Amino acid sequence: MFRHRQCSFSGIGGVLGAVLLAGAAAFEAQAQVFPAETTARGATVTTRPRPEFDPLGVRVGAFRLDAAADLGLGYDDNVFAERRNRTGDGFFDWRLGAGLESDWSRHAVGVAGNVGGRRYFSQGALDWLDWSVGAFGRLDIGAASSLEARYTHRREHLDTGSVDLQQAGVAEPAPFDVDEFQIAGNTRLNRLALTALLNYQIFRFDDIAPGGVPQTLSANDFQTWIAVVGAGYAFAPGRLGTLVARFQDIRYERAVSRGRDSFTWEVLVGFQYDFDGVWQGRGGIGYRRRSYESPAIKDLEGPAFEAQVIWAPSQITTVTLGLRRTIEESISLSRVSYTRTLLQANVDHELLRNVILGLELGADRRVYESPSLRATDAYAILSGRWLLNRNMQLIASYQHVNRIEATGGAEEYYRNLIQVRLRMAI
């Protein structure tokens, strides 16, 4: 599907989401009331194992190989994300992925790779190709501590619906590369869990020339360090309190962008609570401040929060509500960072053991400062998965996006996309 949400350049959402409740992860095994099976407490429609339909993988000595391929056709009725002069086009999608991971009782290593692209029938300038490769290793220390190191290289792109591309007048995908290095460790001392993470990312953007007009996006190349420390205390199985402190330093490589260099700190107090096996909640709230190198750029500060509530009214239906607020980097030369607030609601239903239906509703609001820009997207995604057997799935989806608010150079539009894909896995 097309990307209705912008990429998180500084990795804020992903890293914060992974570490916000890091203390809870160390107690996950203790919090399980039942074995991890299809009726386990806390299992959702999307996470529930389906032994009769899950791919088995291939044993390679002490390793397991998993691989999958997706092939699909679709139609987008507004490929340039414009309010007027709407242009529709069909496309062909494909994706290949494979991972090899150890199956040892202690420690772990693994490698993974993915490649995928889209080819439009008429609008060839909108074609894109994304790929990634990565490796990781984990060292287990005793029964309650571990160290893990990861490296990933990703080739991604910004979609034509991106606010940054729209206000710059760019009507084609903007590719960029990310190199990411990460070291993380955690330990547990009775009820207390401690975790720390150090993440380093390098972002490099390709210069493009849509319609013969050069766009020097490489002026946005930057590097960022993210450090996170967290603690979690288990009051009871499935009921934990957390405290997380996070720091981020962003440095741009081109002299023209050096004033955008910034330092961010935030502190969040959080929790994870399993109320009764039917309701689960987790979240964190705190304060965040980003200070810029240039005095001409207004510092950003305010509340930081992330929350998720899961309701399982039955074994075959799961309702998930999510809310988060982050600060993310912009590739616009006239605007630096923006505050993003994302609200999501998901309903997943197991119509049959091998037929899974899904509905996602969301609102994505971005607020830019100096000069001011506001953009709010509302979206809905309907999807269905038919598990034919262990190795094949048929997936159909419909997605609607409506930019209901746009100021300062962004454009209001609506967009519909339908897609059918066949997934083959081993």
Distance between CA 295 and CA 298 in Å, rounded? Answer: 7
pTM score, whole prediction? 0.86
Residue 17 has pLDDT above 70, yes or no: no
Length of the chain: 426
More confidently predicted of 274 and 355: 355
Residue 372, classified by CB atoms within 10 Å of its CB into exposed (0-12), middle (13-18) or buried (19+), is: exposed
Query: Which tokens is 53 given?
Result: 């339909």
Q: What's the pLDDT band for 164 if we cut at 50, 70, 90?
A: confident
**At 113, which amino acid appears?**
G
Cβ atoms of 421 and 63 within 8 Å: the answer is no
Q: What was the pLDDT predicted at 39?
A: 56
Q: What was the pLDDT predicted at 256?
A: 81
Q: What's the CA angle centered on 66, arms 64 and 72, to 5 degrees?
A: 180
Residue 342 has pLDDT above 90, yes or no: yes
Q: What is the 3-state secondary structure (H, E, C) of the chain?
A: CCCCCCCCCCCHHHHHHHHCCHHHHHCHHHHCCCCCCCCCCCCCCCCCCCCCCCCCCEEECCEEEEEEEEEEEEEECCCCCCCCCCCCEEEEEEEEEEEEEECCCCCEEEEEEEEEEEEECCCHHHCEEEEEEEEEEEEEECCCEEEEEEEEEEEEEECCCCHHHHHCCCCCCEEEEEEEEEEEEEEEECCEEEEEEEEEEEEEECCECHHHCCECHHHHCEEEEEEEEEEEEEEECCEEEEEEEEEEEEEECCHHHHHHCEEEEEEEEEEEEECCCCEEEEEEEEEEEEEECCCCCCCEEEEEEEEEEEEEEECCEEEEEEEEEEEEECCCCCCCEEEEEEEEEEEEEEEECCEEEEEEEEEEEEEECCCCEEEEEEEEEEEEEEECCCCEEEEEEEEEEEEEEECCCCCCCEEEEEEEEEEEEC
Q: In the chain, pLDDT over 70 holds for what percent of residues?
A: 90
The distance between the two most distant Cα atoms of the chain, rounded to a whole number of Å, is 63
CB atoms within 10 A of CB 67: 16
Q: What's the pLDDT band for 15 if we cut at 50, 70, 90?
A: very low
Per-residue pLDDT of 392-416, as tens digits, reads: 999 999 999 999 998 877 788 999 9
- C-alpha separations of 383 from 69, 168, 402 in Å: 19, 33, 18
- Token look-up 């965040």 returns 288
Q: What was the pLDDT predicted at 11?
A: 45
Residue 12 has pLDDT above 50, yes or no: no
- For 126, phi and psi rounded to 5 degrees? -95, 0
Distance between CA 50 and CA 38 in Å, rounded? Answer: 7
Domains and CATH numbers, the chain: 12-425 (2.40.160)
Q: What was the pLDDT predicted at 38?
A: 54
Cβ atoms of 266 and 300 within 8 Å: the answer is no
Cβ atoms of 403 and 376 within 8 Å: the answer is yes
Q: What was the pLDDT predicted at 22?
A: 41
Distance between CA 193 and CA 184 in Å, rounded? Answer: 14
Per-residue pLDDT of 98-156, as tens digits, reads: 999 999 999 999 999 999 999 999 999 999 999 999 999 999 998 899 999 999 999 99
For the ranges 3-12, 160-169, 216-225, 379-388, which has the lowest average pLDDT? Answer: 3-12
Residue 7 has pLDDT above 90, yes or no: no
Q: What was the pLDDT predicted at 35?
A: 34
Nearest to 375 by CA among 15, 27, 83: 83
Nearest to 389 by CA among 425, 414, 347: 425
If phi > 0 it is left, if psi is from -120 to 50 it is alpha, else beta; for residue 373 that is beta
Q: In the chain, pLDDT over 90 holds for what percent of residues?
A: 68
Per-residue pLDDT of 310-326, as tens digits, reads: 999 998 999 999 999 99
Q: What's the CA angle centered on 346, arms 345 and 349, to 5 degrees?
A: 150
324-359 as b/e, with b when 16 or more CB fall inside 10 Å?
bbbbbbbbbbebbbbbbebebbbebbbeeeeebbbe
Q: What was the pLDDT predicted at 298?
A: 87
Distance between CA 390 and CA 99 in Å, rounded? Answer: 17
Cβ atoms of 260 and 293 within 8 Å: the answer is yes
More confidently predicted of 344 and 409: 344
More confidently predicted of 84 and 284: 284
Residue 165 has pLDDT above 70, yes or no: yes
Per-residue pLDDT of 23-58, as tens digits, reads: 434 333 333 333 345 556 778 899 888 999 999 999
Distance between CA 374 and CA 376 in Å, rounded? Answer: 7
Mean pLDDT of the chain: 88
Q: What was the pLDDT predicted at 13?
A: 44
- Token look-up 């959702």 returns 44
Contacts of 359 (CB under 8 A, 6+ apart): 346, 347, 380, 381, 382, 383
Is the preceding peptide bond at 371 cis, omega within 30 degrees of 0?
yes
Q: What was the pLDDT predicted at 24?
A: 39
Q: What was the pLDDT predicted at 40?
A: 65
Q: What's the pLDDT band for 377 if we cut at 50, 70, 90?
A: very high
Q: What was the pLDDT predicted at 30?
A: 33
Q: What was the pLDDT predicted at 128?
A: 97
Q: What was the pLDDT predicted at 29?
A: 34
